[in-house]
């Protein structure tokens, strides 16, 4: 299993449990690893045989900007579902962070892994 990745994708969204968090957009940061067999793409040198990371990023940006979840856990699960189901990805590892959410910390969040690395 090869890995296609997206690093440090930052998106502004409504996320959090406090009243002030429900009123202003905050940045969430994503690190995404997606299982993919890149052999066909490499052999044909064509995007139609590749996992299109730009299409994945655009879809996630659109979804996250419109979302209004309370928990980063919920957002992470939904992001993993989109990647796996809409882009036919059998395995995904995601780190979803909320920079500045805890005083004195650069970032807090969750890391999840879903699917099989076969």
- Assess if residue 86 is contained within a domain: yes
- Assess if residue 81 is contained within a domain: yes
Q: What is the pLDDT along the chain (118 residues), one digit of tens a residue?
A: 899 999 999 999 999 999 999 999 999 999 999 999 999 999 999 999 999 999 999 999 999 999 999 999 999 999 999 999 999 999 999 999 999 888 999 999 999 999 987 7
Q: Which residues are marked as active site?
A: 98
Residue 20's pLDDT is: 93
- Assess if residue 46 is contained within a domain: yes
- Name the β-bridge partners of 69: 15
Domain around 41: 2-104
Query: How many domains does the structure of the chain reveal?
Result: 1
Tell me the C-alpha distance between 56 and 77, whole Å: 15
Tell me the C-alpha distance between 64 and 106, whole Å: 21
Q: What is the largest CA-CA distance in the chain?
A: 52
Indicate which CATH number applies to the domain containing 34.
3.30.1130.10
- Assess if residue 114 is contained within a domain: no
- Assess if residue 118 is contained within a domain: no
């Amino acid at each position: 299993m090869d890995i296609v990745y997206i690093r440090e994708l930052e998106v502004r969204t409504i996320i959090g449990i406090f009243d002030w968090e429900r009123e202003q957009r905050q940045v969430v940061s994503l690190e995404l690893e997606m299982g993919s067999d890149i052999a066909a793409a490499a052999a044909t040198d064509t995007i139609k045989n590749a996992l299109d990371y730009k299409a994945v990023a655009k879809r996630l940006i659109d979804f996250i900007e419109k979302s209004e979840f309370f928990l980063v856990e919920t957002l992470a699960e939904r992001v993993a579902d989109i990647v796996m189901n809409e882009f036919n990805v059998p395995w995904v590892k995601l780190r979803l962070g909320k920079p500045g959410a805890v005083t004195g910390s650069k970032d807090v969040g969750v890391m999840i892994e879903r699917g099989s690395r076969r």
